[in-house]
Amino acid sequence: AIALSSFPDEWKVAGVMPIYKNGQRSIPGNYRPISVLPAISKIMERILYDQLYNYLTKFELFSDSQFGFRKFHSTASALLDCTNDWYVNLDRKMFNLVVLIDLKKAFDTVDHQILLNKLELYGIKGQALTLLKSYLTNRSAK
């Protein structure tokens, strides 16, 4: 897959399984769909993730305010960072405004072309970009 810059379509077919959340088990709305990809797909995703993460880290392309999906960063460190900023602003007699947003299905709504353009802006080009584009296209569920 890496040598061919292509993520095989068979690796992009997810099996969908209903997982019970809470409430009455007889009500379909009390289940959430979970997509399960083939094991080889998950292995390849991990390889791509590690390479991309190392690249973004090496060239310091992560924003200081990004805490998700980063090693040694968590919701606790995000909260600590926010709290520190709030105290600094209070010491300076400035107001703090906090807006909390919960985006439903945030990952499902990412425009893949915008994501690919952003990756290219960050220097991801050639075969690497072609492989990532292949990974994002022709995904399906059964």
pLDDT-based confidence at residue 83 (cuts at 50, 70, 90): very high
pLDDT at 114 over 80: yes
Residue 69: in which H helix or E strand, if any? Answer: none
Packed helices 112-121 and 126-136: angle between N→C axes, nearest 10 degrees: 160
Can you give the residue range of the structural domain that contains 33? 2-141
What's this model's pTM, rounded to 2 decimal places?
0.79
Distances (CA, A) of 19 to 16, 102, 109: 10, 21, 22
**Model pLDDT for residues 32-74, shown as the tens digit of each residue:** 999 999 999 999 999 999 999 999 999 999 999 898 889 999 9
| Confidence band for 4, pLDDT divided at 50, 70 and 90 | confident
Structure tokens at 51: 């390479």
Rounded to an integer, what distance in angstroms lies between the CA atom of residue 79 and that of residue 97? Answer: 14
Structurally, the chain folds into a number of domains equal to 1
Q: Under 8 Å CB-to-CB from 26, ≥6 apart: which residues? A: none
